[in-house]
Structure 1
Amino acid sequence: MTRSRNILSRLMPRLRKIVGNEQLILSILALTVGAAGGGAVILFRQGIAQVQNLFYGSTGEGLFVHAQTLPWWRILLAPTLGGLLIGLLVYYFLPDRRPQGVADVIEAGALRGGRMSVTTGLKAAVISAVSIGVGASVGREGPAVHLGATLGGWLAKKLRLRRTHSRTLLGCGVACAVAASFNAPIAGALFASEVVVGHYALSAFAPIVIASVTGTAISNVYFGDFPAFTVAEHSIASFWEFPAFAGLGLLAGLLAMAFMRGTVLAENVAGKIPLPPWIRPAAGGAMVGILALMVPQVLGVGYGTTDAALQVSFSLALLIAVGVAKIVATAISLGFGFGGGVFSPSLVIGAMLGGAYGIVVAGLSPELSSGPGAYTIVGMGAMAAAVLGAPISTTLIVFEMTGDYAITMAVMVAVVFASLVTRDFHGGSFFAWQLERRGLDLKGGFESTLLRTLGVRPVMSLVSELVTRDVGLGDLREMLQKSERGELFVVRDNGELFGTITLADLSEVAFDPTVDDLIKAGDVARPRPPVLSAADDLEAALKLMRDTGESYIAVVEDKESMLFLGSIDERDVMSAYNRALLERRREELGG
């Protein structure tokens, strides 16, 4: 293992020497990641099929049709026993004892320089494959994205690539996974740039496109060149219909909010149940099984259900029932700890909403309606865009699935309104919510995200003006008058920070020499000053400086030991930020 690591770490310098062009090297690496990611998606999907076959005796997408032929105990037992297995796997094998997904990829790209653990990625993929196979109401695209990103991030880590190239390879892994899942290379490339990389500079976009196309090609070799769904041709009956599409977008935005808040509620309820964490997925699986006895369409990924809606095979009542049940089942599955994503459930819920809306519109104005099938497609795009926070790539997925420019225009209108509703009234996407639940707010903009990537330790000064507690007042006065910062740090004999002293802290004794022999540093020091730990980032440093009004702050090893390490000044923070900003802009422009 150590030998293979050394070989990989020496590979990049050799490639630079042989090829001589970093962009060409990055393209070769993108091709590698695209091929590996496409193959990984094939294995992942086949793994789901085998688990599903083990528990239900079927490998097909239309699980709900087969489920109607099974005895009730099997439908109830499969997600329950599967949930027990998932709970044990997550509890003992995954970091933080929780499933992994797209939010972890976004976090890695924003805060960890694109590096990811391949061991965690493979474990997470197995757990998600089992979750989907046993019937949990979750999606397979999110886990596929995480798996592809893991491969790209791992390769970047082993080759010791700089941050911008690591994030590009992370994007390559995401792109090939999305493209291989939907047979949509354009959408894969734009999803990676829109959600993970955060820009469309050619230096990053070109390798991402290469990986996306490669992933699609690998997938097509195995599964064939078929779109994800069977979609009939549709045409827009009249441009007067566009207000109806806008209305569908508004409803999709509201339903997306209900879906995301329902997942929050389910997670909160699961956390309050007096059961061990590893048993919670089994409880959630039992609830999903009970729901599936009444509405079998909630089981699994739901592509068969979506296809049935696209073929206008469901009545209005069934569309509404399946839509509501799918929201409840997905919220329970995710909230109680199954692994999986939200892309597929969003498409199913959107299809049910769009189909029901289309039936109502056709009944009110049949001559101006494009039919329920067209509204089903529009609902899918609007709902997925609102939940994922990816309006551009979601629109393109629909376009690549249908090849219909007119329907795509309708999808664009609905996507805009749905995205506006969730942004203004919910605060963002499902992934942003997940990160916020972990205490990570990446919505502060480019500047805040950049500050979070910069640590306090590299910026702090190791040269600080220190005194011990027994230093006399006369010496303190002289040191403060000569001090550049006008502040001294008082430390104990063991190096622990005791407090700080400024001339203002000396107050009335500052220039009274008659008490010089009576007062020591420990007597006048300000105890418990604001401090930063070495593990903090520069955003935390600037926030502390703003909240306390102090521009010069001590840095300690941690806030328990209070071992003094150095100090940090606001000027040092801003200088480090400006250097990082210039470097990031230069990298994005391909410089």
Structure 2
Amino acid sequence: MYRDLRGTQQANVPSHLADLPLKFWVAVVLTGIASGLGAIAMMTTLRTVQHMAFHYHTGEFSSAVARVSDSRIVLMLVLGGLVTGVGLWLLGRYLGGTGGEPTAVVWTHTGNLSLFRTLLSSTLSEITVGLGGSIGREAAPQRLGAASGSALSQRIGVSKKHGYILIACGAGAGLAAVYNSPLAGALFATELYLGTISLTLILPALLTSGIATAVSWLVLSSHAIYQVPQLPHPTISLLLFAVVLGPVIGIISAGYVKLIGWASDRRPKNWPLLVEPLILFAALGLIAIKYPLVLGNGVDLAQFAFTGHGVIWVFAALAILKPLATAGTLRSGATGGLFTPTLSLGAVLGGFLGRGWALLWPGSPDPSYAVIAAAAMMGAAMEAPATAIVFVLELTHNIQAIMVPMLIAVVGATLTARHINLLSIYSARLSPTPVSAEHQDPGPGAPH
């Protein structure tokens, strides 16, 4: 006798895939459109503020900062602290907060997202980054996409279970639109938010991210975010570098996540919001006089490392200053992302460690060290290795040749970091909240 296996259910194809109703797919399409428009609005806000504050037009933001006077740098950072503190104080006092945290809502299946308050807090976040805050620009479109998914699911009448999927898809779509990375945005929604990749989850995530990215092309660039020279196939030296690099980056990542958690736990509330951001942003302004690359989300810093033109001591200084600047910005109470600050930290660490490795065993191009380390740092700090790898591929477009050492480093870094610290940059910054008895079971993707 033979057993007919053709009726066996494929592991990634759940039986309830056909249960997704038409109105869910309508909400998916509308969430993608809303996420793309939200990304356009947030990036327009950011660029307008950067232009007004530092006369920025095109090219590298750090170059525009370097061209203005020292006094203007400090003045704009102090203004950033003032606007951030007062804005957060007003949101907390009169509106009840910033609108909710998407990761917490999806992971715990509790709470709600307010589209109106999220729009206000996201705009404030981009103003903070535009005035020099050392934090990611992507949090605003990510949170706005998530809030759009939440609002649409309620408006259209999607079930709560499917509503959480829409929130995750909206978050990934917002990230995809702002960085022109639709595949990575879909993986971000499924791997990080929902904790698994199956047809039920990946199909709406892909569609939402694809639509959002296409909508963003109406205004935003369709080119790669980073310009990396064509890299050759890896040498034995580069492969061994990746083997050694993974655990090193994992250890540093674990410390970085602890720093993020420390800063997040000490964010000011109530009247200290009117004072502490001023002090911390003023200190950041003084640092930026000599090191303008620490300002903003870190795109210029990563690009600096990817070109491979810096000297080893500059890489070392920036690898210390950037995480401190990001932690200080978080400590001030500012809202913003950690995606690009984390990537840029990995890139400068790769630049520093790669230069040291090349002294012992030369033969690999300098940018390859930075790219590999950036992916390893993201994978370990996010606890989403697949997402990290695809993001680096989509952000650069031409590094497929060094895929093997990148995979080795990402796995080594993620395993090492996981043994040291069970938190990620996303879970470490969540505030403790009381949970009722009926919500003891965590949602999909919740950290364990």
The answer to whether residue 392 in structure 2 is matched with residue 398 in structure 1 is yes
The answer to whether residue 370 in structure 2 is matched with residue 380 in structure 1 is no
The answer to whether residue 246 in structure 2 is matched with residue 345 in structure 1 is no
Task: Check 1:267–1:145 CA distance in 2 against 1; reply closer, same or farther (3 A cut).
Answer: closer
Shift of 1:413: 1.3
Residue matched to 1:424: 419
Alignment of 1:398-477 (within 5 A): 398-400=392-394, 401-435=396-430, 437-439=431-433
The answer to whether residue 413 in structure 2 is matched with residue 536 in structure 1 is no
- Specify which of 248, 266, 271 is matched with residue 251 of structure 1: 248
SS of the residue aligned with 2:173?
Answer: helix
Shift of 1:341: 0.9
Whether contact under 8 Å (1:100, 1:143) holds in the other structure is no
Whether contact under 8 Å (1:259, 1:331) holds in the other structure is no
Residue matched to 1:455: none
CA–CA distance in 2 between the matches of 1:408 and 1:23?
A: 39
CA–CA distance in 2 between the matches of 1:270 and 1:290?
A: 21
Task: Check 1:114–1:406 CA distance in 2 against 1; reply closer, same or farther (3 A cut).
Answer: farther
The answer to whether residue 266 in structure 2 is matched with residue 365 in structure 1 is no
Task: Check 1:339–1:113 CA distance in 2 against 1; reply closer, same or farther (3 A cut).
Answer: closer
SS of the residue aligned with 1:208?
Answer: helix
CA–CA distance in 1 between the matches of 2:174 and 2:349?
A: 27
Task: Check 1:165–1:255 CA distance in 2 against 1; reply closer, same or farther (3 A cut).
Answer: same
CA–CA distance in 1 between the matches of 2:24 and 2:166?
A: 8
- Residue type of the alignment partner of 1:194: E
Structure 2 unpaired stretches of 5+: 1-17
TM-score (norm 1): 0.67
Residue matched to 1:160: 157
Residue matched to 1:458: none
Cα deviations by residue, 1:177-214 (Å, 9 ceiling, x for unpaired): 12112212111111100111223232232111111111
- Residue type of the alignment partner of 1:371: P
Residue matched to 2:26: 28
The answer to whether residue 95 in structure 2 is matched with residue 194 in structure 1 is no
Shift of 1:357: 1.6
Residue matched to 1:136: 133
Shift of 1:399: 2.1
- Specify which of 145, 149, 158 is matched with residue 146 of structure 2: 149
In proportion to residue count, which structure has more strand?
1
Task: Check 1:114–1:204 CA distance in 2 against 1; reply closer, same or farther (3 A cut).
Answer: farther
Number of residues of Structure 1 aligned to a counterpart in Structure 2: 425
Shift of 1:218: 1.4
SS of the residue aligned with 2:139?
Answer: helix
Structure 1 unpaired stretches of 5+: 1-19, 441-451, 453-534, 540-576, 585-591
Shift of 1:97: 7.1
Whether contact under 8 Å (2:191, 2:387) holds in the other structure is yes
Task: Check 1:211–1:431 CA distance in 2 against 1; reply closer, same or farther (3 A cut).
Answer: same
Cα deviations by residue, 1:149-193 (Å, 9 ceiling, x for unpaired): 110011112223212210121122122112112212111111100
SS of the residue aligned with 2:426?
Answer: helix
- Residue type of the alignment partner of 2:438: D
- Specify which of 65, 76, 89 is matched with residue 67 of structure 1: 65
Shift of 1:439: 4.7
RMSD over aligned Cα, in angstroms?
Answer: 2.6
CA–CA distance in 1 between the matches of 2:82 and 2:96?
A: 14
Cα deviations by residue, 1:491-547 (Å, 9 ceiling, x for unpaired): xxxxxxxxxxxxxxxxxxxxxxxxxxxxxxxxxxxxxxxxxxxx53353xxxxxxxx
CA–CA distance in 1 between the matches of 2:96 and 2:282?
A: 21
Cα deviations by residue, 1:23-43 (Å, 9 ceiling, x for unpaired): 443223211111110111011
After TM superposition, the runs of 4+ consecutive aligned structure 1 residues lying more than 6 A away are: 95-98
Alignment of 1:571-586 (within 5 A): none
Whether contact under 8 Å (2:260, 2:425) holds in the other structure is no
- Residue type of the alignment partner of 1:330: T
- Residue type of the alignment partner of 2:315: L
- Residue type of the alignment partner of 1:70: V
Residue matched to 2:232: 235
Task: Check 1:115–1:206 CA distance in 2 against 1; reply closer, same or farther (3 A cut).
Answer: farther
Task: Check 1:280–1:100 CA distance in 2 against 1; reply closer, same or farther (3 A cut).
Answer: farther
Residue matched to 2:7: none
Residue matched to 1:510: none
- Specify which of 91, 104, 107 is matched with residue 89 of structure 2: 91
Residue matched to 2:10: none
Residue matched to 2:11: none
Shift of 1:271: 5.2
Whether contact under 8 Å (2:234, 2:402) holds in the other structure is no
TM-score (norm 2): 0.88
CA–CA distance in 2 between the matches of 1:277 and 1:224?
A: 36
Cα deviations by residue, 1:272-310 (Å, 9 ceiling, x for unpaired): 9x9723322111111111111121111112212221221
CA–CA distance in 2 between the matches of 1:81 and 1:22?
A: 48
SS of the residue aligned with 1:537?
Answer: helix
CA–CA distance in 2 between the matches of 1:407 and 1:182?
A: 22
The answer to whether residue 118 in structure 2 is matched with residue 121 in structure 1 is yes
Whether contact under 8 Å (2:99, 2:113) holds in the other structure is no
SS of the residue aligned with 1:314?
Answer: coil
Whether contact under 8 Å (1:257, 1:422) holds in the other structure is yes
Shift of 1:240: 5.0
Task: Check 1:205–1:75 CA distance in 2 against 1; reply closer, same or farther (3 A cut).
Answer: same
SS of the residue aligned with 1:410?
Answer: helix
The answer to whether residue 179 in structure 2 is matched with residue 182 in structure 1 is yes
**Could you say which structure has the greater relative contact order, defined with CA pairs below 8 angstroms and 6 or more residues apart?**
2
CA–CA distance in 1 between the matches of 2:276 and 2:86?
A: 10
Shift of 1:56: 1.2
Shift of 1:22: 4.4
CA–CA distance in 2 between the matches of 1:115 and 1:214?
A: 24
Task: Check 1:425–1:281 CA distance in 2 against 1; reply closer, same or farther (3 A cut).
Answer: same
Whether contact under 8 Å (1:140, 1:340) holds in the other structure is yes
Whether contact under 8 Å (2:183, 2:209) holds in the other structure is yes
